[in-house]
Chains A and B, each alone.
Chain A
Amino acid sequence: MKKHLLFLLAACTIASCDTDSESVAETNADSFNRKALLEHTADNIIIPAYQDLAADLATLENSVTAFTANPDNNSLLTARTAFFEAYLTWQYVEMFNIGKAEEILYAFQMNIYPTNITDIQNNITAGSYNLSSPNNNDAVGFPAVEYMLYGKADTDAAIVAIYSNGTQAAGSKTYLNDLVNQMQGLTTTVLNDWTGSYRNSFVNSTGNSATSAINQLINDYIFYFEKGLRANKIGIPAGVFSNGALTTHVESYYNPAQSKELAKKGLQASVDFFNGTSYNDAPAGESFANYARTLRTNANSSDLTLAINNQMESAKTKLATLNPNFREQIAADNSQMTLTYDEMQRVVVLLKVDLLQTLNINVDYVDSDGD
């Protein structure tokens, strides 16, 4: 009897070896090149965006140094221009909370808003602070710099006055410079890791496990779209999760005239990443849009990529109708904000439900047996 069983096992093993050797060439044809997706994402999207951000922050550092050395209306405006340029570029990297960025809690130190002006003021008064402490997450990064450049007083002249002859002029100058240096340091750390060893381990991590780069990348992306974009930029200030609007939660609160610009960039960055549009001049490459299309075609399912792109387009169209100043939009007609949120929510459904089902990736948050 044992012989029967052994024979059976042996037969099956031989059979599977047989089919294996003759079919490898054939199989590669219909499976997707995940490594190419990761290479394109690393080389033409993530690394160029970080390089751009690093350059923008260097410009910002120069202009902030110039401003604090010689505070006047001109140097303030130059610093603001450099600041907003960097803030726009930031919108392209926030979603990549992976590798070193995840390890050092990069995003928590770059863009937590609303910023806490009490903490900022206390830091300036104390004169000594640890900017990387979690307690200071809401007193550093872009929102803090924005407050320092736009929000310290009601008029530009009054802001310049604070830095030139205010009682805490020296402390404010130091804090502003420290903030920018801190952002530069963090960004350099992340960028160096990418251009160093991380890029190679990233592009080769194509497995379907909770910790593989390809799965983490798409999880981070969807998380960003749902939280960083849909909720933080639109939903929370519009008050969809609370009783009434929370205007103070608008991103770019102290520079509200450009608040919509940031949301538009965040949405554009999301569209670009999904479709593999390069951040640099390279042509578009492998993307999750292609990946989903390949899998759905193989499974004879409807075109999800098209559905996602159409819905992203609807969200863009709705967003474009809003007042560039979200504080004004919320005060005048908050329902337009809510409608924009609803369009983005529809994208979230397509990403979290349809795309994740199509990719059938191992999600990082569920750990238990299945049937």
Chain B
Amino acid sequence: MTTYAAIQSSLSGDNSLPLRPESQVMDLERLGSFHQSRLSFMRTLVRRVFKERWKISPSVFDLDNDGFGTVVYKIEAANATFSFVIFSTYISDDERNDRVIATKWDLTMALVEGEVDHQYIEQLRLNVPKQEAGRVDSRVFVLSRANRSARNFNYVIDVLSQGNQPDIDKISKVGYLYRTTAVYGSGKLGMADWEKVHSKHKDFARPFAGEMFVCMMLRNFSLLQVEHIAKMRAPQSFTPLNYEIKRYIGIGNSTGLGMAPYLVNHPQLISRWVEMRELALARIRTLGAIDERILSQLLVLLDRCLAHTKETITEDEWQTINNHKVVNDLDNLIQFSRDNLESWNAIIAFSEQHCSLQGQEMLVSVMLELYPELVDELEDFHCCDEFLDLDPLMPASSLKHIIEQRYKWALAIDFNAKGAKETYWYRSEEKMEPRLGSVSDIEGKKKQMALGVGYAARKCYDQLGEYALANPAHTTARFLVAYPKVRGIVRRIQCMNKSTYGDIQANLLDQNVLPMHLLRCKLAFFGVSKFDPRSKLWVRNTMFQGAPLLEDIGNTFSDNWFMPLTPRL
């Protein structure tokens, strides 16, 4: 078991491990090339649930023959008991909308501390189906909703009720029965704050653990529900879903721009997640012995990634090209591994010379998969205190020096170039949905969100240069009394200077910015797969595909559901 001090000494100082440099890792396109790994939050959650053998079963099962009604799961985790409450409601096809602006959903759900009685369920029923328009209390700590897959939901019920199994190729094209369109936590809509969850509910005291758990439960409920409806429809002919197909059914997810500001507004947390991933890689490069067993596993996993990527279906041309490159990269990596693999540094160097960014990052995820003993303990260090505290005594000249060192990438951007400040981010009055506009909309520009970190660093640097020259002895505190407008960016620069990886390196105001990279980065940390961009602003993906099922808890556990493949039946 490692410690925070040991991790710190691995990140910096005389005994630090050879981490990839921040200029390489924090480049936005590379962050947007990350894939799921064994440190992803879905993986760490499933490991916890299965290793601790949580007891999860329905305590209320009140669905009609069409699957509408209420289900409550009682969850006996290692430290406490929780309830997962689901309301299944009829909506017409034309009411079904994945956007955040929707007002009706097939399913709405809440994760609640403790057990729930009838009165509390009724209280939830008045509010949970309304989502943003409702209010819950601080017993609730995750709220979510989901819509049925138009392509799969009724189809699976039809075939099961007829005593058949669904066509696996059809399931492979859309690997889920429901898509979740929003998962809310952390104090929204009256729910408990992260501070409470983190301090009181140890079972969910990792980033997004509660949110991931809700998606995992949704996936299991979806399987339960289709079997229930099919059985009610034709009890005589009904057959249960094949276990392998069940494992392959995940949960769909639509993620839009709402996720992008999170990454910019939580720089310390994102930096911490990157640190753990990079530290795992550095441990493997330094400590990971390569023997026949490891080589054999590597080839199996690279083959699996190859097949997984080939099975990924997207209509998006950009992603299709990327996937083709990854397939090619994996072919090359397999060949290199068979012929030349002497050290991890060698294959990393090979990938950096010959593979696309997505191919390079696929290799990193595979390497992490090979050494659970070097990687898994880092899952306990994904939290951090998010205090953007000012260092008031820092001389203004030192602050200037830090910008020159850590924000070199921002100073290298020509913000006067055409298009460099063309994009602005704003919140719509419609559910405060984040959106991306053009500066030609003058009124909208006045209300833009402060996400242009690079540009803010540049402006701060320019003001600081003049000030430090005129007042060489002044502190940062004194500078900020004179220039209060830069208080936010100064605080950020000072704090991020203490982190290993610092800020995301990109001009988010550029006309060619691809928010998709931000979305994909966060989703990779969550652990999703099958990225299917629907525009540069939102992406469909699949969660928990291949994960073990609730019914598997208590049986032998294999944490081997990385890059799941279509089952061959």
A, B in one complex = no
- Which of A's residues lie within 8 Å of B, judged by CB? none
Using a CB–CB cutoff of 8 Å, the interface residues on chain B facing chain A are none
